[in-house]
Amino acid sequence: MDPWLDILEIRAVLDRYAAGIDRRDWDRFASCFTEDCHVDYGRNGVYTARGPFVKAFEQMHQPPVGATLHRVTNHDIVVDGDSATATSYFDAALKVEHKGFQLLHAIGTYTDELRRTPDGWRIARRKTATVMHRREHE
């Protein structure tokens, strides 16, 4: 197996995650995670299975939340056989009316453990650390 190919495939999972949220394509979003994933999004919840996690995020992104833009960058990926770790930065902007502001902006890191499955790489564990969270005017 080519480790560079694995790294590209893992980066594609991380990009697919962001696109899934922004396009409200919940099947695409779900395809990034194992069925038994454990994800910790801090104040947005801890989930121990893909189904409830996807449902919660779908509900979180309903109106009054409008357009969103999630960027996942600065990937540090280490592959070890059929498992991998990845640390990435996230920068998320959400158009939403909240306390007199129109834009919610969050920046932080994702620390992921990924597993190679018969369907490709999937996130098995995720820990989110928010570095900055602010509300802005358009």
| pLDDT tens digits, 22-38 | 999 999 999 999 999 99
Q: For residue 121, with 0-12 CB atoms within 10 Å meaning exposed, 13-18 middle and 19 or more buried, which class applies?
A: buried
| pLDDT tens digits, 117-130 | 999 999 999 999 99
pLDDT for the residue 104: 84
Cβ–Cβ < 8 Å for 86, 76: yes
3-state SS, 89-116, equals EEEEEEEEEECCEEEEEEEEEEEEEEEE
What pTM does this model have? Answer: 0.93
Could you list the residue range(s) of the whole structural domain that residue 13 is in?
3-136
How many domains does one find in the chain? 1
Cβ–Cβ < 8 Å for 103, 136: yes
Q: CB neighbours of 126 closer than 8 A, spacing ≥ 6? A: 37, 38, 39, 40, 41, 110, 111, 112, 113
pLDDT for the residue 52: 97
Q: Which residues of the chain have pLDDT under 70?
A: 1, 98, 138
